[in-house]
Amino acid sequence: MNRISKIPYEEIGAEKLSELMHAFYKRVSQHPLLIPIFPEDFTETIRKQIQFQTQYLGGPNIYTEEHGHPMMRARHMHFKITPDRAQAWLECMAEAMDEVGLDGKFREIYYKRLVMTAHHMVNAPNDHEEEGF
- Reported as a single tens digit per residue, the pLDDT across 86-133 is 999 999 999 999 999 999 999 999 999 999 999 999 999 998 755 444
Rounded distance between C-alpha atoms, residue 12 and residue 6, angstroms: 10
Structural domain boundaries in the chain? 13-130
Report the candidate in 108, 113, 114, 110 with the shortest Cα–Cα distance to residue 88.
114
**pLDDT above 60 for 4:** no
Q: Which residues are annotated as a binding site for heme?
A: 119
Q: Which residues are annotated as a binding site?
A: 119
91 contacts: CB under 8 Å, gap ≥ 6: none
Mean of pLDDT over the chain: 92
Provide the b/e sequence for 78-114 (b: ≥16 CB within 10 Å).
Answer: eeebbebbbbbbbebbbebbeebebeeeeeeebeeeb
The DSSP 8-state label assigned to residue 125 in this structure reads -
pLDDT score for 68:
92
The CATH code belonging to domain 13-130 is 1.10.490.10
Instruction: Count CB-CB contacts under 10 A for residue 25.
Output: 19
**pLDDT above 50 for 26:** yes
Report the candidate in 5, 87, 21, 27 with the shortest Cα–Cα distance to residue 54.
21
The DSSP 8-state label assigned to residue 4 in this structure reads P
Predicted TM-score (pTM) of the model is: 0.89
